[in-house]
Each structure stands twice: as C-alpha cells, then as structure tokens.
Amino acid sequence: MGPLHESRKALIGVCDFDGVLRGKLVLSDDVSAGDRIIKFSEAVLAWDCSDRVIQANSAQELPSVFGDADLRVLSATARAVPTCHDRFLYLAEFAGAHESICPRGVLRKVLRRAADHGYSCTAGFEFEFTLFNESAETIHKKPYDQWVPLTRGPFGYSVARTLASNELFDEILAFCDDARLPLSGLHFETGPGAIEASLRHCDALEAADRAVLLKSIVKSWAQTRGMMATFMAKVSENWPGQSGHIHISMSSNGQNAFYDGKASRNISGTMNQFVGGQLKYMNDFCVLAAPNVNSYKRLLPGFWAPTCPSWGVDNRSCAVRVIPGNESAHRLEYRLSGADINPYLALAGAIGSGILGVEENAVLATPIAGDASEERHAAYEPLPQNLAEATSRFAQSQEAIDVFGDRFVEAFSRSRRWEWDAVQHRVSDCERERYFEVI
C-alpha cells in the first residue's frame, strides 16, 4: 500500500488547563470539511502536567470515568506543522457537557459578554523563552547548573547576537510564517539564551489560538534542532523572569473604544473603567495569569515584573501599562502574565476583569510615575504571594463565578490546589545547600 494522501493525515490539538496542547494524529478524508465533532478522552481535563489524575473529594465533580467527550475540530485553525511538512495541525475545543470547563470555551464566554456591551476585542501576545543547547536526553542527565544556554550572560536587544544567530532567527520567522503565526518582532532578551517573540495583534480568540500554537511549535522545532525551549516564568533565581505580556484594545462601531483624542493622554472613559476593573479584580483573578508555583518567583521587585495591581502611562514597572498613541495604536499592555500562562485563560482574566470595570463604572486611581514596586504600599494591595493564596482568592470570588462560571472556577481551582500540593513535599537543592551543614 502506498503512502496516505496528505489530506488524510492531520494532528488535532486541544488545550488543557496548563495551556499544553494535547492531541493525536487523525486519519480521515474529511478532517478539513467544516467544523465537526469527534470523540476524545476527557482525561486531559483531569490530568496535571505530569499526567497524574487530579483527585477530588466527595463534594467535588470530576469528569465521569475518563471516557470519551465531544471535541469540536475547528477547520479554520489549520496550520502547517514545520517539523512535518506533509500534515496540518487543527485546533479543537471541548463541546457539550465539557464546554463550560474548556479553556477556549471560557474565553469565548468572556468575549460574548464584551460583545453584549457592543465591544469587540483585539489582542497580541509577547512571549519570552529560553533556548538551551541540550537535547531531551542530555537535559535529564545533567544537574540544572550544568545545562548550557544558547548564549551566555545577559545581552538584551543585541544586534551582534542577532546577526550571529541569523540562520536560527530566519528559521523561526519562516515556520511562524508557514504556520500563519505572523510576528511583529523577534529579538534577544536580557538573560542567557533568552529570546522574545511578539505576535501581531488580531481578533482576541485568534490571538489566543496563535499564542497556544506558538509555544508548542517553538518547543517542537527546538527539539528537532537538538535544543530545548522553556517558557517557565522563572528558569533561575539568577536570571530575569520570562513574561507573556498581552496587548489589548477594544472597539465599538469600528472605533477604538480606548481612544479619546480630546482626553488627557487620549485615555477614554471606557479605558478608564476597563483598566479600573483590571486593577480591582487583579488579585482575585491573578491565578489565571500566574497559574504555577514557579509563576510567583517572577513577580519580584527589580525584575520588570509587577508586585501590585498598579497602572501607569508607558510605565513598565506596572501591572497595566497604558500605551498612548493615535487611534489605531492606542492600547494597554497587561504585564502580570508570565510565559507559563494558558493563553486562553490569561486573556479571559484580563478582558473579563476589564468588562466588569465597564459594567461597574470603575474608578481609576492616579497613575504611578515611578517604580511601582517601591510605591505599592501607598495605594495598592500587594499581589498574592504564592499559588495557594491566589487559588484561594479565585475560588472564593463571586465575580470570578459570575464571569467564568461556577463549574470552571471549581475545576480550575481544584487543579491549582493540586499543583500547589504536588511540590510542597519536594526538597530542593536550594534547601540542601542552605541547611545541610548549618542546621
């Protein structure tokens, strides 16, 4: 028998709570013939990142017995896979009984709420990631401090390194173009082996699709080159953290709803309310933008990451940075989120809190002009200090239940409590180094 026709080979990928694409190779003649429902294991909504089943108590609901669930294959999302030239990757989302806890479904729910008020949303993600000159085999055979990054030491925005890595950058640009993931920028960030890729802005749901695909494709591409890529929020306590900033704007009747040419800094009343809502509910929704134990090791003073729900005009020390410009460019940058986010959920949190602000006519405090981490005690409550605190706030938030649904809040909170518990009993190298001899 000869090789299968190209149209019969397709990868189907659906996003789990951790933002990881889970899927399988599907052999079908009509995979691209419009959105269709297939069966797929519901276990991926009950697994942690190491494929362990998240346990529930008797009062909590799990997917039944890990049978098959309805999965909607989204034909318009088809992308070329750079490491497999004879097939396409299709994104999918859970449908039916599981739609209310599907990350993509949660974002769609938030965007419908914005649409009910006459707003459409656009977004663009920026991701920092680190490349290591290590294979999937060698990285597990070496202690962390012996892993070799692509470059040594910090050299952010380095033209010299960009020119020296011209072939590598060309490959990234090429596979992003082939996969319909257009970039607006690509450069070295400060930190060993650190690179930032900025996706062009577009419709918010499409922007999140692109973000999910970029992370998976970068990681798979790196392995084909004998490298490893990581999107951890904090790879080392000695290096800067890795962000996943989100640029957001809203429009109404074809006009930028954040822009008012007659207002100070062009900040419209709607934008005031939107940012006011983001700040008001940032601590309650924080776990959507900082979903892992490691996430909170990035949110420290002096590392270009927020420490409180603050805002400023073109101020990168704040959690929300308003970027003034003409009507086509005026927007905000949501800087709380790290590179380890689930893009659907982080964007849902950023937009959902903003829409609450519009609904409630939220009041925006005076912008911070200096370092927000130094001024946080003047007007703002600190961000949650760890995953357990952030999860507790989310689980108890009536506003979270209102925006995202009670079933999702319960399921996602359960997954984050499990994530917190999974690492609390682990003894780290740092603890051994600090206490072994002295204590």
Q: Domain count of the chain? A: 2
Boundary-marking domain end, from 101, 131, 157: 101
276, 394 Cβ separation under 8 angstroms: no
Cα–Cα distance between 260 and 373 in angstroms, integer? 29
Most confident of 4-13, 71-80, 199-208: 199-208
Q: First and final CA of the chain: distance in angstroms?
A: 68
Kindly state the percentage of the chain with pLDDT values over 70.
93
Shared domain check, 293 and 150: yes
Which of these, 282, 286, 258, lies nearest to 356 by C-alpha position? 282
Q: Residue ranges of the alpha helices (H) in 190-295?
A: 204-224, 269-280, 282-289
Boundary-marking domain end, from 101, 129, 160: 101
H-run or E-run covering 37: strand 36-41
Range of the domain at 82: 6-101
Q: pLDDT: is 381 or 337 the higher one?
A: 337
Q: Which pair of structure tokens corresponds to residue 15?
A: 């996003």
Cα–Cα distance between 421 and 415 in angstroms, integer? 10
Q: pLDDT: is 199 or 136 the higher one?
A: 199
Q: pLDDT band for position 376 (50/70/90)?
A: low
Is 51 among the domain residues?
A: yes
For position 139, what pLDDT does the model report?
Answer: 87
Is 39 among the domain residues?
A: yes
Cα–Cα distance between 306 and 299 in angstroms, integer? 6
Cα–Cα distance between 384 and 76 in angstroms, integer? 38
Mean pLDDT, residues 364-388: 83
Shared domain check, 116 and 88: no
Helices 282-289 and 343-360, packing angle to 10 deg: 160
Which tens digit of pLDDT belongs to each residue from 171-227?
999 999 999 999 999 999 999 999 999 999 999 999 999 999 999 999 999 999 999
Spell out where 319-437 has E strands.
Answer: 320-323, 331-334
Is 1 among the domain residues?
A: no
Is pLDDT above 70 for 8? no
Is 404 among the domain residues?
A: yes
Mean pLDDT, residues 376-400: 89
Single-letter residue type at 166: N
What are the angstrom distances between the C-alpha of 297 and each of 234, 284, 403?
6, 19, 28
Place of tokens 């809502």: 277
Which CATH number characterizes residue 375's domain? 3.30.590.10
Helix, strand, coil content of the chain in percent (nearest 5): 40, 20, 40
Cα–Cα distance between 324 and 313 in angstroms, integer? 7
H-run or E-run covering 91: strand 84-94
Of 1-5, 248-252, 292-296, the one with minimum mean pLDDT is 1-5
Shared domain check, 379 and 257: yes
Shared domain check, 294 and 258: yes
Is 343 among the domain residues?
A: yes
Is 20 among the domain residues?
A: yes
Is pLDDT above 90 for 85? no
What are the angstrom distances between the C-alpha of 68 and each of 39, 91, 202, 275?
6, 18, 33, 41
Place of tokens 């005031």: 272
Shared domain check, 254 and 146: yes
Place of tokens 């006011």: 276
Of 68-82, 113-127, 259-273, the one with minimum mean pLDDT is 68-82
Predicted model pTM: 0.94
Ramachandran category for residue 266: left, alpha or beta (phi over 0 → left; psi -120 to 50 → alpha): left
For position 15, what pLDDT does the model report?
Answer: 97
Is pLDDT above 50 for 49? yes
Shared domain check, 252 and 191: yes
Q: Which neighbouring-strand residues pair with 23?
A: 13
Which CATH number characterizes residue 24's domain? 3.10.20.70
Shared domain check, 165 and 80: no
Is pLDDT above 80 for 99? yes
Spell out where 265-383 has E strands.
Answer: 311-313, 320-323, 331-334
Shared domain check, 301 and 364: yes
Mean pLDDT, residues 264-273: 96
Is pLDDT above 50 for 2? no
Q: pLDDT band for position 377 (50/70/90)?
A: very low
Q: pLDDT band for position 5 (50/70/90)?
A: very low
Cα–Cα distance between 111 and 120 in angstroms, integer? 7
Bridge-based pairing state of the strands 84-94 and 9-15: parallel
Cα–Cα distance between 375 and 79 in angstroms, integer? 45
Q: Which pair of structure tokens corresponds to residue 330?
A: 């005026």
Is 294 among the domain residues?
A: yes
Is 268 among the domain residues?
A: yes
Single-letter residue type at 156: G
Shared domain check, 306 and 239: yes
Shared domain check, 93 and 222: no
Shared domain check, 333 and 431: yes
Boundary-marking domain end, from 77, 101, 125: 101
Place of tokens 């950058």: 169
Q: Which pair of structure tokens corresponds to residue 107?
A: 């974002």
H-run or E-run covering 79: strand 79-81
Q: Which pair of structure tokens corresponds to residue 193?
A: 């082996």
Shared domain check, 93 and 116: no
